[in-house]
Structures are given as C-alpha cells and as structure tokens.
Amino acid sequence: MRELYPEIEPYDQFRLQVDDLHELHVEQCGNPDGLPVVFLHGGPGAGLSAYHRRFFDPARYRVVLFDQRGAGRSTPHAELRDNTTWHLVADIEAIRERLGIERWVVFGGSWGSTLALAYAQTHPQRVFGLILRGIFLGRPHEIRWFNELDGFARHIFPERWARYLAHIPEQERGEMIEAYWRRLDSDDPDVRLAAALAWGNWEGGSTTLVHDPDEAGTQEDPRVAVSVARAEAHYFRHGVFLEPGQLLRDVGRIRHLPATIVHGRYDMICPVANAWELSQAWPEATLRIVLAGHSAADPAIVDALVTAADALRDRFS
C-alpha cells in the first residue's frame, strides 16, 4: 500500500485579489520546475490541510494549492456573495495565469471532484489529466441522499442523524437544508455557530470506513464549521450552480484526457453509484473502487490516489 509523501512546507505563498471582495490564499510546494498540479479541496468551504500537499512526489511535481472563496485563509471568511461554482472556475484560471502555467494536472476530491470536472469541461485545453476522488456530481438526488429525510445515509448512521435532526424543530424537518440555512444565515452569531457545529457533527463524523458515532468529527473547529456549513448549504440550495446532470452531459469535452476515478465502496456521503455513472459516461477513464469510506485519509484511498499521481508524473514529466 502506498502512503503519503513526507511532510513538506510551501516554497511560495501569496495572496491573489480575484475581485473587489475576495482575496485568495495560494501556495506552492515541491519542485518549481516539476509537472504542475492544482489541488482542489472539498467542502465547499473546508479549506486546505497540510496533508493535502503530500499526495504528490515533491521531486517531480509543482503542487499548487489554494483556499477557495470564503474558506481557510482566503478572505472574507465564510463570505457567500459572488461565491458560485463559476466564480471558482474563474479563480482557478486566474491562478494558472498568475503563475504562468500553460497546462496542469487537476486533482480534486468530493466537492473538489465537482469543481475539477466543471473546470476541465470549461478549459480542457489547460488540462494534462485528472485525478478524482469521492465523486459528487451535484445532482438533486445526491444532495438529498445525505441531508434530507428522504435520503438514505440516515439509515446508516442513525445515532449521528438523530443529533442532526434534533437541532431542527419537527415542523421544519421536511426540508432540512432550508431549515439549517435559516439558522446559518442568522444575524445572531451564536445561532449560526450552533447550527454549523450540528451540521459539521453530522457530516464531519461520517467520512471514514470505521465509524465511531460519538466521535466529534472533522469540523469541530468553530471557524471551519461555520465556513463549511454556510458554503455547503448555500451551494446545495442552489443546485451547486449547475444544470441537473450537466457534468455527465458534458463529459465528452474531456474524454480525450487521461483520468483516474477513485471511490470508496462504502462512501456514505457520496455513494459509489456516482463514480460508476461517471465511468459509464467516460469509459476511457480508469475507475478504482476501493475498500474505504469517503475520507481521502482512508488508507486504500491514499494508496489509489498516490499511485494515480505517480502514473501521471511518469507520463508527463
């Protein structure tokens, strides 16, 4: 089993003003003369973690990472104005142009896979290849799968779902995302934070193959919880700013590009059927279904992603 590359620090960090409101945190690590790759984090709203740098051979890759609008060290924090899928696609292009990169590998997991597909389908001439993990295509039934009463994930994690449900009065439970949004968009910071922590406990604790129903989850940090919950609810209630089925419909624009799709068999946040359907529309891509959940840190996911990154490294550098 492949493991992550050793810990590494950026050799370059900068701020990029992308409009009158938003300023992004951008960093680079690895080899400045290596094969460029852009890392697209999940959420939306989750921001970068140090381990995100470690999927790539630092001797052969020039790794570009950034906090998306409203996330991590980008500012304003948790800001949703001018924050859509298409703003983020434009931001990726702005970063590429700022760095003088002609083409790069695009690597994204979960929400990052959505954004990677949207970017590559918009700018296929700028992409060497794609590595995608935990496929989320932004379709209405995918959004409801995890967050609503008519979804399925609640049957797998009943203890955790009970806490998510308990935060919302019974008369509002027919549309949980909208009910949470009313609280996440409240003028009262205490109301916003309580809703964000409840949202984060449900999602952030449901990512791994081995599940502890009492674990706090990955979004217990108040700052992260607020940015993730607000961004996710904002994107979900707007259908991720995509036409239904758009990413499958437009896959023909990128079928000529090499791609690996990695998905955990027991991913309860983004069900494996998403990856299967994408692979059926894109038969040239390599599909790897592994014994894992949703988390990029599950060992089988790490193994598949590092292997895929090494393969593109050897192909293009």
Q: Where are the domains of the chain?
A: 12-139+241-316, 141-239
pLDDT at 317 over 90: no
Token pair belonging to 59 = 């001797």
Average pLDDT of 197-221? Answer: 83
What is the Cα–Cα distance from 260 to 316, expressed in whole angstroms? 15
Burial of 245 (0-12, 13-18, 19+ CB in 10 A): middle
Q: Is 43 left (phi over 0), alpha (psi -120 to 50) or beta?
A: left
Instruction: Assess whether 74 carries a catalytic annotation.
Output: no
pLDDT of residue 210: 87
Range 11-39 burial, b when 16+ CB lie within 10 A, else e: eeeeebebeeebebbbbbbbbeebbbbbb
Q: Cβ(21)–Cβ(79) under 8 Å?
A: yes
Residue from 25, 41, 91, 110 carrying the catalytic annotation: 110
Instruction: Assess whether 141 carries a catalytic annotation.
Output: no
Strand ranges inside the chain, DSSP E: 12-17, 23-30, 35-40, 61-66, 104-109, 127-133, 259-264, 286-290
Q: Cβ(16)–Cβ(26) under 8 Å?
A: yes
Average pLDDT of 128-154? Answer: 96
Token pair belonging to 215 = 């674990």
Which of the four pLDDT bands, split at 50, 70 and 90, describes residue 221? confident
pLDDT per residue as tens digits for the range 286-312: 999 999 999 999 999 999 999 999 999
Residue from 22, 294, 295, 303 carrying the catalytic annotation: 294
Does 76 sit behind a cis peptide bond, omega within 30 degrees of 0 on the bond before it? yes
pLDDT at 217 over 80: no
What is the Cα–Cα distance from 218 to 143, expressed in whole angstroms? 20
pLDDT at 233 over 80: yes
Provide the 10 A C-beta neighbour count for residue 188: 9
Provide the 10 A C-beta neighbour count for residue 152: 13
Q: Cβ(183)–Cβ(195) under 8 Å?
A: yes
Average pLDDT of 70-84? Answer: 98
pLDDT of residue 214: 81
- Fold (CATH) for 12-139+241-316: Rossmann fold (3.40.50)
Instruction: Assess whether 267 carries a catalytic annotation.
Output: yes
Residue from 57, 67, 91, 267 carrying the catalytic annotation: 267
pLDDT at 212 over 90: no
